[in-house]
Structures are given as C-alpha cells and as structure tokens.
C-alpha cells in the first residue's frame, strides 16, 4: 500500500499519442494502492482495463476520439504532406492539419467536469495533452508532465542558441550550410501559428479559451514548464544533445511493463527460439510503404540468408508487394505481434530495423539491441541522429527512397561490428539505473502525498 495521499491521481492522455508508457505508469500507481483515474479516448480503454484488471483503476472516456491526428484518418495527400523531403513544409502541414480546436474544447470541457467531480490531488498529463494542461493551470491543480518525446521537443523554450531545432532533422555537429538552415528553420517554426491554415484556428481557440475561462497563463509557450511540479522524461540524459534543464526535469528511462507481456504465446516465441540471429523489422503504425518499397525489403532479406528476418507489416501493404515476388525462406511476415516488448527482449533478436520513433527507440534500448534507422517523418529524422551519435546504430543514406544495397550493407555492419551492440548495452545499463516505471510511480505518489 502507498502512503496516505491528499486525493486521487488523475492521468490525462493525448488522444492521438502512443499511450502505452502512460498506461503502464498508471497501472504501477494502481498497484501501490492509490485511487487512479485515466482520461483518454475509447481506443485506449481496452489496454487500460487489461493492465489494471481487478485492481481498481477507473477510466474516463473522452469519446470516440475521431481526431485528424489519427494516422488511420489520413488520405494519401495528407500522409505525403507529412513525409515530404522539406522538413519545414512537413512540420507546417502537420501543425495545420492536427490543430483541431473543436476537439480540444470538447476534451477540455469533459476533463474539467471530471476534475470538479473527482477533486484529484494531482494530474499526470501527457506532454501533448494541451487540454489537460489548460485544466490543471486554470483550476490550480498540481500537475506532472509525462513525456515520451525527446527532451528538446518538450523543452523548446530552454534550448540554447545554435541548438538543432526540433523537427529540423539536423545533427548536433553541423556544417556551415546546416547552421544556416537550422536558423532559418527555427525562425519559420516560431512563426508557424501565423501561417495560413493555422492562424485562424489559433484565433478560434483563443476565443473559446476566453469563453471557458481558461487562465491566460496557460496559453504561454513556457506554461507547461513553468507551472509543472515535475517533468518526467522517458529517456536518459546523454542520449539527447546536452542543454541546461531545471531540477524539476527528471529522466526515468524507458517505461516497460512486466515481461513477458504474453506468457501464453508460444508459436512466435518458438520460431524465434529456432534461430540464432534475427533482424526485427517494424515501422510503427504510421509509415506506408509503396509496392516497390516492400519489394526492396524482401530482396534485402534474400541477401541475408544467414539471418532470419521478422517483419511486422500491415496486411494491406504486404498484399501490394510486386506480383510474382518470391518470398525467401528466412523471411517471416506478421501483420501484428502480441507484444513488441517480448520480441525485442528475445535473445535471438540482434538488430531492430526501425523508423526511429521515440517509443520504439526506447523500447529497444531496454534490451541492449542496436538499431538501423529508416527515419519516417517529422521527429524521426532528429531521433535517428541521436541513435547514430550515441554509437548504437546507423541510418540509411537515403530514407526517402529504398536502396537495397544500402540496407544490406548497413545491416551487415550493425550485425557484425561489436561496437554497436556494446554501445546499445551501455545505454541499456543507463536506462536501468534511471529506475523506469517504479521510479516514475514513486515520484508521482510523492507529489500527490
């Protein structure tokens, strides 16, 4: 049982963000005996219920969550606007498309009503859940920021001059041309709210904020940093490029559920057991490969016959592979895996071939596995630079097209050169030292006491 708390703890998720780390944290706090509520859209109810089954966690529905930021809702034109070569245009398109004022207002009203009913001692809010930060600041409720993104993405007002600006896709060590590009990108991003397609939405939200009585302090860019009791980062210092942060910013490492997640799953685990070296290939739920791209990855697997390849790929993309393509015997395609944690934890898995998403990177680093990156969009290019600079992986030379020769060459290096595994294992030790979900739960309960 946990110590006496001042009241319930209410978690508030971002309805279009990966919520597994936050749900795992909430389940750990439930395990300590705290009264826990979790606000999210209906898509997250099954996972929350499963992880807190029989232990008292209570779910607050924010509705169906038909957000424009939900990847399944994007048509091809929208998807390509987010994944184009121009980092500035893709970032601008993402902000313009995903700023849904009506949904933010709806979620604000629902959470505000629940806050007045439940009277929580503490809010734990996802870093992208602006509606929840607005409620916390307006109602004067202490809150903790829960951040799965890299620190620089969350703490932008603290970044020093010359720092590679989030979403620019630039490394720490820049050429003269890259430094100029970084300055231009930063200036453009600081004016994005005044761009066509965005400014009108910003004005509309400001109007609603006045009607709802949202504290004007919540509208400031630095509000989440200034007002938060604590900012929990799901990473470790050193992976991110360095900059000064206040004491309230604490890195707890990756949030991992108890493993195995699926102890009764035998078929896939049995297949992994029969191979000494497996490359696990997964590009998340956003990336859409062309038929030619699918064919290139199949050919890459064919050229690595001494290694097995496990590929998690949506069914509709797999079915679009070039007609007549022969599938090599070392390739296994799954449209869904019961637990990515269980796959990455398996000793036969030697490399994770990834789109360089933040959650996937940190999941992988729980298990000392090096990575090959094909960065997919927006923040993935930034994260790929962190992976390379930390010595735990490589990235493809040309992520916008798929070069089979480059894939095979880079995979061969990561599989055979010990330095990549050694550096990945180093970062795994650093993550373990950070404390993970147990430390996160300790800090949250401490703030609610």
Q: In what order do the strands lie in the sheet with 349-354?
A: 331-334, 308-312, 278-282, 349-354, 371-373, 393-395
Cα atoms in the Cβ-side hemisphere of radius 13 Å centred on 131: 26
Cβ neighbour number for residue 374 with a 10 Å cutoff: 25
Per residue of the chain (449 residues), give pLDDT as tens.
456 889 999 999 986 667 899 999 999 999 999 999 999 999 899 999 999 987 889 999 998 866 666 776 788 998 898 889 999 899 888 888 777 888 889 999 999 999 999 999 999 999 989 999 999 999 999 999 999 889 999 999 999 999 999 999 999 999 999 999 999 999 999 888 888 778 888 889 889 999 999 999 998 888 889 999 999 999 999 999 999 999 999 999 999 999 999 999 999 999 999 999 999 999 987 889 999 999 999 999 999 999 999 999 999 999 999 999 999 999 999 999 999 999 999 999 999 999 999 889 999 989 999 999 999 888 999 999 999 999 999 999 988 888 999 999 999 999 999 999 999 999 999 999 999 999 999 999 999 99
Note the pLDDT of residue 65. 63
Beta bridge partners of 312: 282, 334
Tokens of 291: 């038929």
Q: In what order do the strands lie in the sheet with 230-233?
A: 58-61, 36-40, 9-12, 122-126, 143-147, 230-233, 249-251
Note the pLDDT of residue 95. 83
Note the pLDDT of residue 438. 96
* Closest among 360, 352, 332 to 268, alpha carbons compared: 332
Cβ neighbour number for residue 163 with a 10 Å cutoff: 18
Give CA separation, 65 vs 15, 92, 106, 147, 371, in Å.
Answer: 6, 23, 10, 21, 33
Cα atoms in the Cβ-side hemisphere of radius 13 Å centred on 115: 26
User: Which domains are assigned to the chain?
Assistant: 9-73+101-173+213-251 (3.40.50.2000), 267-432 (3.40.50.2000)
User: Is the previous residue joined to 166 through a cis bond, with omega within 30 degrees of 0?
Assistant: no
Structural contact between residues 375 and 369, judged by C-beta atoms closer than 8 angstroms: no
Note the pLDDT of residue 1. 47
């Amino acid at each position: 049982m946990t110590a006496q708390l001042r009241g319930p703890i209410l978690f508030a998720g971002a309805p279009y963000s990966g919520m597994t780390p936050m749900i795992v944290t909430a389940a750990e706090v439930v395990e300590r005996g705290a009264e826990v509520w979790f606000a999210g859209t209906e898509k997250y109810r099954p996972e929350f219920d499963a992880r807190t089954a029989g232990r008292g966690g209570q779910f607050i529905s924010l509705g169906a969550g038909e957000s424009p930021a939900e990847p399944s809702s994007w048509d091809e034109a929208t998807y390509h606007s987010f994944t184009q070569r121009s980092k500035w245009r893709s970032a601008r398109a993402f902000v313009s498309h995903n700023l849904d004022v009506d949904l933010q207002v709806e979620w604000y009203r629902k959470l505000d009503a629940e806050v007045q009913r439940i009277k929580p001692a503490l809010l734990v809010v996802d870093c992208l859940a602006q509606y929840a930060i607005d409620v916390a600041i307006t109602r004067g409720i202490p809150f903790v920021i829960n951040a799965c993104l890299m620190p620089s993405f969350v703490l932008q007002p603290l970044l020093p001059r010359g720092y590679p600006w989030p979403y620019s896709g630039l490394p720490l060590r820049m050429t003269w041309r890259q430094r100029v590009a970084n300055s231009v990108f930063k200036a453009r991003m600081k004016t994005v709210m005044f761009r066509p397609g965005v400014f009108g939405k910003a004005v509309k939200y400001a109007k609603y904020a006045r009607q709802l009585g949202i504290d004007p302090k919540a509208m400031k860019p630095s509000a989440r940093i200034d007002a938060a009791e604590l900012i929990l980062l799901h990473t470790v210092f050193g992976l991110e490029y360095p900059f000064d942060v206040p004491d309230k910013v604490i890195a707890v490492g990756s949030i991992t559920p108890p493993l195995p997640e699926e102890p009764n799953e035998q078929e896939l685990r049995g297949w992994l057991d029969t191979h000494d070296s497996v490359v696990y290939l997964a590009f998340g739920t956003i990336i859409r490969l062309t038929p030619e791209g699918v064919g290139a990855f199949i050919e890459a697997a064919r050229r690595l016959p001494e290694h097995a390849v496990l590929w998690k790929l949506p069914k509709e993309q797999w079915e679009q592979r070039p007609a007549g393509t022969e599938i090599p015997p070392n390739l296994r395609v799954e449209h869904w895996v019961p637990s990515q944690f269980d796959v990455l934890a398996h000793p036969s898995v030697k490399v994770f071939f990834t789109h360089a998403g933040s959650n996937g990177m940190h999941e992988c680093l729980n298990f000392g596995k090096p990575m090959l990156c094909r960065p997919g969009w927006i923040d993935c290019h930034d994260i790929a630079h962190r992976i390379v600079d930390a010595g735990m992986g490589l990235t493809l030379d040309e992520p916008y097209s798929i070069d089979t020769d480059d894939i095979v060459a880079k995979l061969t290096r990561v599989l055979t050169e010990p330095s990549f595994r050694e550096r990945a294992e180093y970062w795994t030790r650093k993550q373990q030292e950070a404390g993970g979900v147990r430390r996160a739960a300790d800090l949250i309960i401490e703030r609610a006491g």
